[in-house]
Amino acid sequence: MTASDAVIGWRRQLPVYSPVSAAALLLGVGAMLRGLEPERARQRLLRLLQSRYAPKAALLTDSATSALTALLIAILRDRPGFAVALPSYACYDVATAADGADVPVLLYDVDPSTLAPDMASLQVILRRGVAAVVVIHFYGYPLDLTEVNRLAQQAGAIVVEDAAQSAGATLADRPVGGQTSVSVLSFGRGKGLTGGSGGALLANDREGEVLLQRARGLLLTARWGWSDLMALTAQSLLARPSLYTVPASLPFLGLGRTVYRKPRPLRAPTSTSCSVVAATWALAEREVQVRRRNAAQLLDTVRRQPAFEAIRAAAHARPGYLRLPVLASPAARRAVDDPAARRLGVAPGYPKALCDLERFAPRCLNRDAAFRGGRLLAARLCTIPTHSRLGAHDIARLERWIGVVGKE
């Protein structure tokens, strides 16, 4: 083994990365210490959201999970006892939001080739009666919600656009997050644009404005920003493959694992989070361009391998590629769990369909349905990193890994 090989073996690439500058951290410290000016930090972030999305109204929260929880509670106020429709395959935080709102759930299946709702499955759910349909733009792949909106309107349901992973994605040259009455954004650590924590609700019409006003009344006061500041500092310092390997090798930290969390109190965002999101806004926009270039190069390799299948993007969609999701054959998917793949930043998707989460399944009224799409995704989806911390040598190693593992 050469010295270069030893260095490579020690390095561990991040699966996903959100840029944070030293200047942004200092602004976050200042916002927290001033304390008396939290509204100033929030207003700056609200202006940036207005410039990008042009919503009728916006509400900032301490996380996307809190935003979705508060929204579901607001929707169910007029329709108590109704269920909420969720995708069978999703981040477990979506399940946490349903727990926090204490709502019954009907799951609809997901098309593995596009990550869009399986329309036949969704129609069955709508006929049973739901108050809201939550639709997710996975990994920065935009969905065209025209048909979902039409079906939901006929059934009298509100469509909630979960754009927490949208990460600079656009549809027909418009930012993802404006196709429905109300949408959810995230500023969490792995979401491309980060404040360490934070989320937002965007109202795009009068109905959305009413829901935001209800949700606003559910939020408690913000915490101090110490935890955000500590997390952001660690993120900034450890966002290098040679350093990230240290925390990633400590099992008790749970880095890279999908964890089912209990609901927490719904709060307003910290001043630290708002200040850092605003300060990293331009960095995050540049990061999207890098992710797109890296994804284009990696996709060219993926499409040549029979053991991998690229996800199809919707017409007129321009993904933000928070990560590059691909379907792997059973053998290729097993290779994702090898240390060599993890060192490259290759990671499995969510390990279980929501119907198979032991603590969440009792909330799902149709948990015994097949959900072939959701279960296939849980078994075969994996993600490949696209972020700016990848150097040319990292891209080359990923291409070699795809080429070797991707052969039948």
Confidence of residue 2 (pLDDT cuts 50, 70, 90): very low
In the chain, the amino acid numbered 301 is T
Helix boundaries (H) for 55-91: 64-76
pLDDT band of residue 254 (cuts 50, 70, 90) is low
Residue 363, domain member (yes or no) = no
Task: List strand residue ranges (DSSP E) for 82-129, in order.
Answer: 83-87, 105-108
Number of structural domains in the chain: 1
pLDDT confidence of residue 268: 95
Residue 8 resides in a domain: no
Helix axes 226-238, 241-248, angle to 10 degrees: 120
Task: For residue 61, tell me if it sits in a domain.
Answer: yes
Q: Which domain holds residue 105?
A: 22-226
Sequence-distant contacts of 333-342: CB under 8 A, at least 24 apart = 333/379, 333/380, 333/382, 335/405, 336/382, 340/401, 341/401, 341/405, 342/12, 342/248, 342/256
Share of the chain above pLDDT 90, in %: 79
> CB-based contacts of 51: which residues, under 8 Å, 6+ apart?
none
Confidence (pLDDT) at 67: 98
Q: Which residue has the tokens 């399944």?
A: 361
Give the whole-number percent of the chain exceeding pLDDT 70: 92
What CATH number does residue 58 fall under?
3.40.640.10
Give the span between the Cα atoms of 145 and 172, in whole angstroms: 12
Residue 350 in any domain: the answer is no
pLDDT of residue 241: 76
- Note whether 70 and 215 are within 8 A (CB): yes
Specify if 188 maps to a domain: yes
In single-letter form, the type of residue at position 29 comes to V
pLDDT of residue 273: 92
- Model confidence over 151-164: pLDDT tens digits? 999 999 999 999 99
Domain assignment of residue 84, yes or no: yes
| Residue 27 falls inside a structural domain | yes
For residue 214, is it within any domain?
yes
